[in-house]
Amino acid sequence: MINFLILPILIPLITGVLLIFANKSIKLQRWIAGLSAFLTVIVAALLVQKVRNDGVQTLNLSNWDAPFGITLVSDMFSALLVLTTSIVALACVIYSFKGIGEDREKFHYYSAVNFLIVGVNGAFTTGDIFNLFVFFEVMLMSSYVLIILGGTKIQLRESIKYILVNVISSALFVISIAYLYSVVGTLNIAHISVRLSEISGVSQPGIITVLGVLFLIVFGLKGAIFPLYFWLPGSYYAPPAPVMALFGALLTKVGVYSITRTYSMFFYQESGFIQQLLIILAILTVIAGIIGALAYWDVKKIVIYNIIVAVGVILFGVATMNIDALTGSVFYLIHDMIIKAALFLLVGLMAAIAGTSNLRSMGGMIKRYPGLGWTFFLAALALSGIPPLSGFVGKLLIVQGGFSSEHYWGAAIVLISSLLVLISIMKIFINGIWGKPRSFETENSVPYRKLMIAPVMLVVLSIFYGVGADFVYPYISQAAETLTNANIYIDAVLKE
């Protein structure tokens, strides 16, 4: 029987290797990359259904059973994120056919994209904390290639900061894993959870708190929480639109996933200090993101700072740690991956038409590009959580969970952030898409209709995700149940 667990990692891995040898034919590269991305979506959807029907799936990659061997684990949380990643990757690949430029396509662009997906899907699927680090590095090395590919001045400048921050973060990650191993003597995530539970039962939980803070710093750098988000606005601004969409939709979400996974598996026993710290940082992250989104008049920067807002909203739900808030966080995380990819592709198209990303130099695009205008309008409403679109359900559950846990100030700030996000994103619509029509020198060279395929696909999916919330809710609820009850994950991996 086919084990769908490994295929979303294996397919892009094989594709990335094959594309290295197909660099002389851009057309062949596009066909291979497109078919591979589509096939990955299919197997990821089958994996989700498999987990839905049969529970948590595991695969030992050696003759050694867990916790001694390397184990891949797919519960509903990781399976849904793998599926969402695969859909976003397919959309970005389709957009890249006409939106990345042949100069980049010649230099192994599609290979780097596929290796990036290997790292992201692997990080979501691994059941081993050290292999989480390995997949992080695969993802980061691919992102180094993508952020610098093209060699523009801004890319070269921002890539130095991006690489430096991630090298320091990776070093700290290894140190944290070594410290964790010295305490528990295992690297298997399920087994670590068991060992930490035993430690907290017989001694002071101070050492668990130290480990929790260390991992929060490591994953906070990756996920861009306050005050560790300083590297993100410039680094994500530098690359072209499809790369920006991949980064904005996927890379920070791997950090968010890692915080969610480790917090729910390792540190739920010591919930006092770590929980309060995470709640405070999450709220500060929301506030910092809102300030940036409202302050800038650059379409890319506005959407980039809205990434930071979403990270804070999701992590507030995770820190609240009740079933409503966690269900909302999972729902909102998937929504944000889809809608952020759509928005980055849309603002990238706007910048290509106008020849600039400065909002003050745009205006009246809806006159000649009504499809772009109304697609962006729907995406803006979804992002800010207007019912019945996809952002509403997740944020409502997070706020409900916050109030039920008596975190009133945090829940109120999350609620207010919806209005401020709407103001920030509608600033793009009012000033860039609405208003007096302008003529742009570069617009005739932009293949508008072909570039609209991918963002329209994502926005339509987002609408169905919100309107069809009753259909997807059982899947989201199953994911949240695993996060609130670590024993489901542990029993599946250790076969207890």
pLDDT of residue 486: 86
pLDDT of residue 380: 92
CA-to-CA distance for 195 and 201, rounded, in angstroms?
10
CA-to-CA distance for 91 and 25, rounded, in angstroms?
21
pLDDT(465) > 90 = yes
pLDDT of residue 42: 96
Instruction: Name every residue whose Cβ is closer than 8 Å to that of residue 81 and which is 6 or more positions away in sequence.
Output: 124, 253, 257, 333, 334, 337
pLDDT(303) > 80 = yes
Of 99 and 115, more confident = 115
CA-to-CA distance for 409 and 321, rounded, in angstroms?
16
Instruction: Name every residue whose Cβ is closer than 8 Å to that of residue 374 and which is 6 or more positions away in sequence.
Output: 366
Neighbours of 72 (CB within 10 A): 21
pLDDT of residue 329: 94
Per-residue model confidence as pLDDT tens digits over 400-444: 999 988 888 999 999 999 999 999 999 999 988 887 777 777 767
pLDDT of residue 244: 93
pLDDT of residue 151: 76
Cα→Cα distances 238→92, 154, 234, 267, 415, Å = 17, 6, 6, 36, 31
pLDDT tier for residue 123 given thresholds of 50, 70 and 90: very high
pLDDT tier for residue 38 given thresholds of 50, 70 and 90: very high
CA-to-CA distance for 474 and 266, rounded, in angstroms?
26
| Rg (alpha carbons) of the chain, rounded to whole number | 21
Cα→Cα distances 101→97, 104, 117, 143, Å = 8, 6, 21, 18
pLDDT tier for residue 205 given thresholds of 50, 70 and 90: low
pLDDT above 90 as % of the chain: 57
For residues 254-279, give the mean pLDDT: 85
Per-residue model confidence as pLDDT tens digits over 353-382: 888 888 888 888 888 888 999 999 999 999
The one-letter code for the residue type at 52 is R
For the whole prediction, is pTM greater than 0.85? yes
Alpha helices for 321-389 (secondary structure H): 323-354, 365-368, 370-384
Exposure string over 111-146, b if 16+ CB within 10 A, otherwise e: bbbbbbbbbbbbbbbbbbbbbbbebbbbbbebbbbb
Using DSSP's 3-state secondary structure scheme, residue 57 falls into: strand
pLDDT of residue 121: 96
State the first-to-last Cα distance of the chain, in angstroms, to the nearest integer.
24
The one-letter code for the residue type at 296 is Y
Per-residue model confidence as pLDDT tens digits over 43-59: 999 999 999 999 899 98
The residue whose two tokens read 């540190």 is 267
pLDDT tier for residue 1 given thresholds of 50, 70 and 90: very low
For the chain, the average pLDDT equals 89
CA-to-CA distance for 198 and 368, rounded, in angstroms?
65
Q: Which of 64-68, 69-73, 439-443 has the highest mean pLDDT?
A: 69-73
Per-residue model confidence as pLDDT tens digits over 85-114: 999 999 999 999 988 888 888 888 999 999
pLDDT(461) > 50 = yes
CA atoms within 13 A on the CB side of 276: 4
For residues 259-266, give the mean pLDDT: 89
